[in-house]
């Protein structure tokens, strides 16, 4: 098993696009309203501009072998 993390701080970059896509998917699915989706995107950008942004994605991979 191997793991590694991807971190963005103190400004957002790539992960801001994840916030945008996530907010849009939640809105399209009817889970949140348009105002909430817009607010999530705006807050992510506010934090990035204020240099208080922290984003982290953990990745893990597992390789298995078939018994002989």
Whole-angstrom distance, CA of residue 40 vs CA of residue 68: 52
- Is residue 68 situated within a structural domain? no
pLDDT of residue 53: 97
Q: Is 5's pLDDT higher than 90?
A: yes
- Total domains, the chain: 1
Q: Please count the other Cβ atoms lying within 10 Å of the Cβ belonging to residue 33.
A: 11
Q: Which domain holds residue 12?
A: 2-61
Q: What is the pLDDT of residues 16-59, one digit of tens each?
A: 999 999 999 999 999 999 999 999 999 999 999 999 999 999 99
Supply the DSSP string of 1-68, one letter for each residue.
-EEEEEEE-SS-SHHHHHHHHHHHHHHHTTSS-HHHHHHHHHHHHHHHHTT---EEEEEEE-------
Domain membership of residue 43 (yes or no) is yes
Residue 43 has a pLDDT of 98
The model's pTM is 0.79
- pLDDT of 1 reads 87
């Amino acid at each position: 098993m191997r793991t590694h993390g991807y971190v963005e701080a103190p400004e957002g970059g790539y992960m801001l696009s994840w916030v945008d896509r996530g907010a849009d998917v939640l809105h399209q699915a009817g889970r949140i309203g348009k105002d909430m989706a817009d607010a999530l995107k705006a807050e992510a950008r506010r934090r990035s501009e204020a240099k208080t942004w922290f984003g982290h994605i953990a990745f893990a991979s597992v390789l298995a072998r078939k018994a002989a």
